[in-house]
Amino acid sequence: MSDTIIEVRDVARVYHQGEVDVPALRGVSVDIHSGEFSALAGPSGSGKTTLLNMIGALDTPTGGSVAVAGTDVTGLGRSAAAEFRLNHIGFIFQAYNLIPVLTAFENAEFILFLQGKSSSERKEIVTPLLERVGLTNEMHRRPSQLSGGQQQRVAIVRAIASKPAVVLADEPTANLDSETSAALLDLMAELNEEHGVTFLFSTHDPLVMERAHRVVRLDSGQIIDDGELAEV
């Protein structure tokens, strides 16, 4: 078994809605190993996106702990969490979250820019990745000039360009047709196999679950099944 990259221990998350406490996660524990291509699956309200947000240091659990790449992210303050995300976690969102006024290239290089990489370094890293995902002729177009699938390809490059410890993908195929979804999943699977990029999805898309090497199923804030790999 390869090294553990994500350690979730007895994580609970309760949201307060007026005088009502709504439990989103109930004592969840799971390990994700480096190089896995795995999915958190379940219906809406099952807790999968909440768990992904905990792992991505976007939210803080009510109880329990989450460690990513050896760092306890539950103990980080706001600025430290932001810095950790910048340097260790890549994000792919269902809404793409591209910056409208930037070109595909500028969006793809944005994390590297925030990390202080020089213009020549960013170009050297991002150009071949955009070529790899079939966007050679679209590098200087803005998001409004790109299809949904092309925008998601830009988001994938942005997520992996800095070589993060893990890429978290929240419903990345939700706004795409099945053919485009399949092509993007093939691309991410190739990046996983060729470069060892660790991917963790949250999804209820059967296409994603079919491609994942491991599916962790949640319902009502608890893990009900874990197709854990014997070998990674």
Contacts of 59 (CB under 8 A, 6+ apart): 13, 50, 53
Whose structure tokens read 């803080």?
60
pLDDT single digits (tens) 91-133: 998 889 999 999 999 999 999 999 999 999 999 999 999 998 8
Domains of the chain, first to last:
4-226 (3.40.50.300)
**Residue 52, SS3?**
helix
Query: Strand, helix or coil at 158?
Result: helix
CA 174 – CA 214 distance, rounded (Å) = 20
Q: Which of 228, 226, 208 is nearest to 217 (CA)?
A: 226
Cβ neighbours for 203, distance < 8 A, ≥ 6 positions apart: 39, 40, 41, 48, 171, 172, 173, 209
pTM: 0.91
Tens digit of each residue's pLDDT (9 = 90 or more) over 3-55: 999 999 999 999 988 889 999 999 999 999 999 999 999 988 899 999 999 99
Q: Which residue do the tokens 């599916």 mark?
A: 215
C-beta of residue 169 within 8 angstroms of C-beta of residue 202: yes
Report which of 59, 66, 56 is spatially closest to residue 91, judged by C-alpha positions.
56
Section 189-216 average pLDDT = 91
> pLDDT per residue over 41-52, tens digit each?
998 889 999 999
pLDDT at site 1: 42
